[in-house]
Amino acid sequence: MGGNNKLKDRENWTIIIEPKTSLFKLDFNELWHYRDLLVMYIRRDIVTFYKQTILGPLWFVIQPLFTTLMFMFVFGGIAGISTDGLPQPLFYMAGLLCWNYFADCLNRCSDTFNANQNVFGKVYFPRLIVPLSIVVSSIVKMGIQFGLFLFIYLYYIIEGYSFQVNAYAFLLPVLVLMLAGLGLGFGLLISSLTTKYRDLRFLITFGVQLWMYATPVIYPLSVMQQNHQQYMWLILANPLTSIIETFKYGFLGEGTFSWWYLGYSFCFTVVIMLWGMITFNKVQRSFMDVI
């Protein structure tokens, strides 16, 4: 009778926690089961960002606006770097819009284990929920900044400036997914490594800043093609290059677009995201014993 009762209790269990048998096993059904927790984390990330602040969500607008003004003064004014004939505010805002989303996902995902070690050590839930919530909540921030971009865009149209908008602008959802995949993949890899090598965290901010200068955010790709041909291989190997150039080409009509380069970035994104998830899946089994 006792054995039957135990078997009956087991049949009524909704969740059975057991070791995963393969590094490649990702339980997406479990993620769906915890979708309410994912929504809660997304809401928390958005609310806590501007909670107890004076300006609140306006910080989402202030940061890219002041960064754009600084780029206009330093790179557009003092350095005199070309913007392919485009208005400087729109050129820099277009690059920052994509870059900020990627960098935000990478920086915050890369600290997943360290920032949540107390929660992970006490409560069970799919650990991938946390970095996924970061990627989704950051889209809200990007959406607000995209609204600022459209506001400046409309201002120049009213002023009589003509942009050669084309059908490639409809690739925006794909570009956002690729930026999210790159940020998530690299973030998961770095987070997995920092559980054992703590000093890697100090290199993230510095490395991301250097990465931006290897990405056509403050300069057009045409400048590198004309004046710095020897570095073109490095710029084109950067998976963010074609994403940002496609965004500029679609909305502003200037830039370099290639299906080959965009296809390379897409394949790179898939590989780095799968690599990050597999590594994350491996490390999460024993990270509490290491961290």
Q: Identify the domain containing residue 263 by its residue range.
A: 26-290
Sign of the torsion formed by the C-alpha atoms of 283, 125, 51 and 62: positive
Whole-number pLDDT of residue 244 = 95
Residues 6+ apart with CB under 8 A from 54: none
pLDDT, mean of residues 39-56: 73
Residue 108 lies in a domain: yes
Count Cβ atoms within 10 A of the Cβ of residue 72 and give its class: 0-12 exposed, 13-18 middle, 19 or more buried.
middle
Residue 21 lies in a domain: no
Two tokens, residue 217? 């955010």
Residue 168 lies in a domain: yes
pLDDT of residue 260 exceeding 90: yes
What is the H or E stretch that residue 121 is in? none
Residue 13 lies in a domain: no
Whole-number pLDDT of residue 289 = 47
Count Cβ atoms within 10 A of the Cβ of residue 167 and give its class: 0-12 exposed, 13-18 middle, 19 or more buried.
exposed
Residue 201 lies in a domain: yes
pLDDT, mean of residues 38-60: 74
Two tokens, residue 169? 């602008």
pLDDT band at 20 (very low <50, low <70, confident <90, very high): low
Quote the distance between the C-alpha of residue 52 and its chain's center.
26
Whole-number pLDDT of residue 177 = 96
- State the Cα–Cα distance between residues 257 and 111, nearest whole angstrom: 34
What is the H or E stretch that residue 111 is in? none
Quote the distance between the C-alpha of residue 254 and its chain's center.
24
Residue 8 lies in a domain: no
Residue 113 lies in a domain: yes
pLDDT in tens, 73-131: 998 888 888 888 889 999 999 999 999 999 999 988 888 777 677 776 677 777 788 88
Domain count, the chain: 1
**Of 200-209, 245-254, 262-271, which gets the smallest average pLDDT?**
200-209
Write down the pTM of the prediction: 0.85
Q: What's the start-to-end Cα distance of the chain, in Å?
A: 44
- State the Cα–Cα distance between residues 39 and 37, nearest whole angstrom: 5
